[in-house]
C-alpha cells in the first residue's frame, strides 16, 4: 500500500514513468546515501560554526570548509542520479570550476 501511494506521488511530481523493481531498489539505495550525505554536511556545518564561535580559523576550519563543498558536490551528483532514474525534467546543475 505504501509503495502504491509513493508511486502515485512520484507520478504526480515526476510524470508518468513507473519504475521497475530494480530501478526502485536503486532509488531506495541512492535515497539512503543521500540522507547520510545530508547528515554529513550538517555535521560539517556544526563543526565550522563551532570554529567560528571560537574564532578559530586554522586547519580545522579550512578542512571543514573544504569538506562542506566536496560533500555538497557529491550530494548534487546523487540528486542528479535520482532525477535521471525518474526521467525528471528537473535536473540540478552546478557549474563550478573544477578543483
71-93, pLDDT tens digit by residue?
Answer: 999 999 999 998 888 887 777 77
- Structurally, how many domains does the chain consist of? 1
Is 68 inside any structural domain?
A: yes
pTM: 0.74
Q: Which of 72, 69, 80, 89 is nearest to 37 (CA)?
A: 72
Task: Give the pLDDT score at 93.
Answer: 75
What is the domain extent for residue 69? 33-93
Q: Is the pLDDT of residue 18 over 80?
A: no
Q: Is 55 inside any structural domain?
A: yes
In-domain check, residue 18: no
Residue pair 82/31 in contact by the 8 Å Cβ criterion: yes
Amino acid at each position: 500500500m505504501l509503495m502504491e501511494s509513493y508511486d502515485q506521488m512520484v507520478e504526480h511530481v515526476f510524470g508518468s514513468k513507473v519504475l521497475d523493481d530494480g530501478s526502485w531498489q536503486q532509488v531506495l539505495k541512492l535515497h539512503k546515501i543521500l540522507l547520510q550525505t545530508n547528515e554529513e554536511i550538517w555535521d560539517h556545518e556544526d563543526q565550522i560554526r563551532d570554529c567560528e564561535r571560537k574564532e578559530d580559523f586554522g586547519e580545522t576550519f579550512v578542512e571543514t570548509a573544504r569538506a562542506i563543498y566536496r560533500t555538497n558536490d557529491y550530494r548534487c551528483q546523487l540528486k542528479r542520479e535520482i532525477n535521471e532514474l525518474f526521467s525528471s525534467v528537473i535536473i540540478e546543475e552546478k557549474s563550478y570550476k573544477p578543483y
